[in-house]
């Protein structure tokens, strides 16, 4: 999925949210002819993300602003690194500063934690994936940052993959519908989409393996239990994608990768990530 246009829309929304009728303090204090230079400086080591969007953002405020980037998007940088320079009308730079920093600090935080998870599974054929546990309105930015950090995107919304979750399974059991019948029905309704089933225990796994499911998500399992499930799946002739999810941390992700799963989805990549510390140092130019 193309993430660029939704992020451009996010920039417009964020600027509208912050500027509203105008930056009244800046308009009162700063001459319209004043020019300035702002240095974007990384205060905390990490993976930088969102830098290409700075020019888009500042051009929205004033067409004469120029942005010069000094580092590559997605690169690891040390604290104190000059990431880029913004030159142009001082009013416009001050007005856009907070939104610009919010955007790149958050994106860089997501990219940095994602890269840490990816590093933990190095050597294993296992993908690190995001989830739908994103901040409202920021899903596309966060999923972009996950990719910058070396991760992979899970579904973007409820309409691009069929996942039979525990709530669905509970309803099916009460309504006397079998999982096998449901998988057939879903594939008939949406033959272009993969079908995935959440599995919390071995009994549910065996039931899933009796269907024509495309993927199985092992949720809330200890690594030892997940490994047993992977072994059961691999003893069958079924070629299904195996995923682990649920309360997996930096300390435990390596153990899950060793179980043989193909991917690990992690909500912590986005829903509670710490922003990377980035500052702007502004100087007035005569």
Same domain, 223 and 242: yes
CATH classification of the domain holding 212: 3.20.20.70
**pLDDT in the model for residue 47:** 98
Mean pLDDT of 45-67: 97
In angstroms, how far is the first alpha carbon of the chain from the final one?
45
Same domain, 199 and 232: yes
Mean pLDDT of 12-31: 97
**pLDDT in the model for residue 237:** 83
Q: Is the pLDDT of residue 36 over 80?
A: yes
Q: How many domains does the chain have?
A: 2
Same domain, 93 and 12: yes
Buried b (16+ CB within 10 A) or exposed e, 27-47: eeebeeebebbbebbbebebb
Which has the closest alpha carbon to 245: 217, 271, 213?
Answer: 217
Same domain, 23 and 72: yes
141 found inside a domain: no
Digit-coded pLDDT (tens) for 126-179? 999 999 999 999 999 999 999 999 999 999 999 999 999 999 999 998 998 899
Residues 275 and 19: their CA atoms lie apart, in Å, by 22
Same domain, 242 and 278: no
Same domain, 26 and 54: yes
217 found inside a domain: yes
Same domain, 171 and 95: no
Contacts 24+ apart (CB under 8 A), 7-13: 7/53, 7/140, 7/141, 7/144, 8/56, 10/137, 10/138, 10/140, 10/141, 11/53, 11/56, 11/57, 11/60, 11/99, 11/103, 12/60, 13/137
Same domain, 23 and 11: yes
CATH classification of the domain holding 99: 3.90.1170.20
Mean pLDDT of 114-119: 98
Mean pLDDT of 268-277: 95
14 found inside a domain: yes
Same domain, 251 and 277: no
Same domain, 192 and 105: no
Same domain, 230 and 278: no
Residues 132 and 157: their CA atoms lie apart, in Å, by 7
Global pTM? 0.95
131 found inside a domain: no
Mean pLDDT of 37-48: 98
The per-residue pLDDT of the chain, averaged, comes to 96
142 found inside a domain: no
Same domain, 37 and 96: yes
Residues 18 and 32: their CA atoms lie apart, in Å, by 20
Q: Is the pLDDT of residue 1 over 80?
A: no
Digit-coded pLDDT (tens) for 223-268? 999 999 999 999 998 899 999 999 899 999 999 999 999 999 999 9
Task: Supply the range of the domain harboring residue 49.
Answer: 4-118+273-285
To the nearest whole percent, how much of the chain has pLDDT over 90?
A: 94
From residue 239, how far is each of 8, 119, 152, 263 by CA, in Å?
39, 27, 21, 14
**pLDDT in the model for residue 3:** 74
130 found inside a domain: no
17 found inside a domain: yes
Digit-coded pLDDT (tens) for 65-98? 999 999 999 999 999 999 999 999 999 999 999 9
Residue 113's pLDDT band (cuts 50, 70, 90): very high
126 found inside a domain: no
Backbone angles phi, psi at 128, to 5 degrees: -100, 125
Task: Please name the helix (run of DSSP H) or strand (run of DSSP E) that holds residue 17, with its range, or none.
Answer: helix 4-19
């Amino acid at each position: 999925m193309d993430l660029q246009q939704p992020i451009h829309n996010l920039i417009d929304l964020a600027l509208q949210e912050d500027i509203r009728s105008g930056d009244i303090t800046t308009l009162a204090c700063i001459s319209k002819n004043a020019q300035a230079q702002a240095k974007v400086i990384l205060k905390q080591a990490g993976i930088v993300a969102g830098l290409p969007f700075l020019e888009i953002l500042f051009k929205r405020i004033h067409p004469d602003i120029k942005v010069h980037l000094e580092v590559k998007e997605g690169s690891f940088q040390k604290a104190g690194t000059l990431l880029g320079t913004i030159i142009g009308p001082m009013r416009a730079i001050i007005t856009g500063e907070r939104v610009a920093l919010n955007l790149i600090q958050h994106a860089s935080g997501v990219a940095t934690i994602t890269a840490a998870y990816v590093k933990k599974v190095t050597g294993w054929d296992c993908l690190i994936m995001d989830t739908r546990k994103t901040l409202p309105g920021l899903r596309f930015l966060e999923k972009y940052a996950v990719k910058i950090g070396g991760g992979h995107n899970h579904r973007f919304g409820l309409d691009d993959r069929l996942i039979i979750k525990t709530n669905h399974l509970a309803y099916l059991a009460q309504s006397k519908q079998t999982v096998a019948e449901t998988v057939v029905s879903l594939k008939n309704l949406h033959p272009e989409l993969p079908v995935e089933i959440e599995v919390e225990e071995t009994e549910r796994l065996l039931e899933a393996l009796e269907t024509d499911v495309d993927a199985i998500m092992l949720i809330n399992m200890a690594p030892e239990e997940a490994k047993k499930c992977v072994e059961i799946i691999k003893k069958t002739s079924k070629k299904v994608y195996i995923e682990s999810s649920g309360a997996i941390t930096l300390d435990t992700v390596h153990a899950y990768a060793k179980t043989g799963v193909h991917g690990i989805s992690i909500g912590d990549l986005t829903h509670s990530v710490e922003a990377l510390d980035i500052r702007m140092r502004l100087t007035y130019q005569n």
